[in-house]
């Protein structure tokens, strides 16, 4: 089984919190456009794919 990138991996890469990454990926209005762009760029670089099962637990 291959390793899957998580929001924790993205947060570590950007030296921020997983909550900030989650909000940025969800286009939360309280997150700056600069941060959203950085998170999305890093997510793409790390081949992040949203875990639909985890997302449905909300």
DSSP string over the chain:
------HHHHHHHHTS-HHHHHHHHTT-TTS-HHHHHHHHHHHHHTT----HHHHTT-
pTM: 0.86
Residue 40: what pLDDT?
97
What tens digit of pLDDT does each residue of 6-53 get?
Answer: 999 999 999 999 999 999 999 999 999 999 999 999 999 999 998 888
Confidence of residue 3 (pLDDT cuts 50, 70, 90): confident
pLDDT of residue 34: 97
Tokens of 31: 């997150």
Q: What is the pLDDT of residue 25?
A: 95
């Amino acid at each position: 089984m291959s390793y899957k990138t998580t929001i924790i991996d993205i947060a570590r890469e950007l030296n921020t919190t997983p909550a900030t990454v989650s909000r940025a990926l969800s286009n939360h209005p309280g997150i700056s456009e600069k941060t959203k762009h950085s998170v999305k760029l890093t997510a793409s670089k790390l081949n992040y794919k949203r875990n639909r099962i985890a997302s449905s637990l909300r």
